[in-house]
Amino acid sequence: MIRASSSRVWLFNLKVTLIHTMALSESQIPPDAQHYLVCGTEDCERNCQFYCNDCHHPMCEQCRDRHQKSPETKGHEVVPYKQRKRQLPMQKCKIHPTKDIDLLCEECQIPLCSKCATTIEHRGHVFTDLEMVFTEKCSSCNVEVTKIRSYFEPTSQDLKKEIARDVTEIKKIMEGVRTSMKAEAESVKKLVDTVTSDKIKQVDKIEQSLLQTLNSQNKEIDDYINYLNDLVRTFYGYLSPSNIEQLTFALKSENLIIRPIPETLKPVPPVFTAGQYSKEDIAKLLGIITVPNIKPENRKIKPMETVSIQLKLTRKQRKQDREKSDVKQTLCLSSSVTKVRKYKVPGVGSVFHISLGKSGTLWGSDMSGNLVQTDLQGNQLQKIQTSGRDGYHTVTQDGDMIYTDTDNKVINRTRTDNTITKFIETGDWEPFSVHSSHINGDLLVGMIKEGEPSKVTRYNKTGTEIQNIQRDDKGRGLYRIPHYITENINGDVCVSDYYKHAVVVVDKSGQHRFSYKGQRSGFYPYGICTDVLGHILVCDYISKTVHLLDQDGRFLSLLLTDQQGIKYPYSVCVDDKNNLWVGQLATNTVTVYKYLH
The 10s digit of each residue's pLDDT in 279-302 is 787 777 777 777 777 788 887 787
CB 373 within 8 A of CB 363: yes
pLDDT score, position 253? 58
pLDDT score, position 458? 94
The candidate with the shortest Cα–Cα distance to 544, out of 517, 576, 577, 522, is 522
Q: Is pLDDT at 576 greater than 50 in this prediction?
A: yes
Mean pLDDT of 307-312: 48
Read off the pLDDT band of 216 (50, 70, 90).
very high
Read off the pLDDT band of 495 (50, 70, 90).
very high
Read off the pLDDT band of 23 (50, 70, 90).
very low
Least confident of 195-204, 221-230, 276-285, 447-456: 276-285
SS3 content of the chain, % helix, strand, coil (to 5): 35, 30, 40
Dist. CA 353–CA 345, nearest whole Å: 11
Read off the pLDDT band of 241 (50, 70, 90).
low
pLDDT score, position 330? 61
Q: Is pLDDT at 536 greater than 90 in this prediction?
A: yes
Dist. CA 419–CA 433, nearest whole Å: 21
Phi, psi dihedral angles at 33 (to 5 degrees)? -75, 155
pLDDT score, position 572? 96
In CATH, which of 3.30.413.10, 3.40.50.11890, 2.120.10.30, 3.40.30.10 is domain 331-596? Answer: 2.120.10.30
pLDDT in tens, 164-179: 988 988 898 888 888 8
Read off the pLDDT band of 154 (50, 70, 90).
confident
> Which of 150-154, 357-361, 393-397 has the highest mean predicted lDDT (pLDDT)?
393-397
CB 363 within 8 A of CB 395: yes
Q: Is pLDDT at 380 greater than 50 in this prediction?
A: yes
Does residue 522 come out as left (phi exceeding 0), alpha (psi in the -120 to 50 range) or beta? left
pLDDT score, position 247? 65
Q: Half-sphere exposure of residue 373, counting CA atoms within 13 Å on the CB side?
A: 23
Read off the pLDDT band of 259 (50, 70, 90).
confident
- Domain ranges for the chain, please list them: 2-23+36-125, 172-267+278-285, 331-596
pLDDT score, position 289? 75
Mean pLDDT of 224-247: 77
Dist. CA 311–CA 327, nearest whole Å: 24
Phi, psi dihedral angles at 503 (to 5 degrees)? -100, 115
User: Around Cβ 555, how many Cβ atoms within 10 Å?
Assistant: 13
User: Around Cβ 560, how many Cβ atoms within 10 Å?
Assistant: 25
Instruction: Give me the chain's average pLDDT, please.
Output: 83
pLDDT score, position 246? 66
Q: Beta-strand (E) ranges in 533-568?
A: 536-540, 545-549, 555-560
Dist. CA 143–CA 233, nearest whole Å: 131
Q: Is pLDDT at 313 greater than 60 in this prediction?
A: no
pLDDT score, position 255? 56
Least confident of 3-7, 91-95, 349-353, 449-453: 3-7
Dist. CA 582–CA 544, nearest whole Å: 12
pLDDT score, position 319? 53
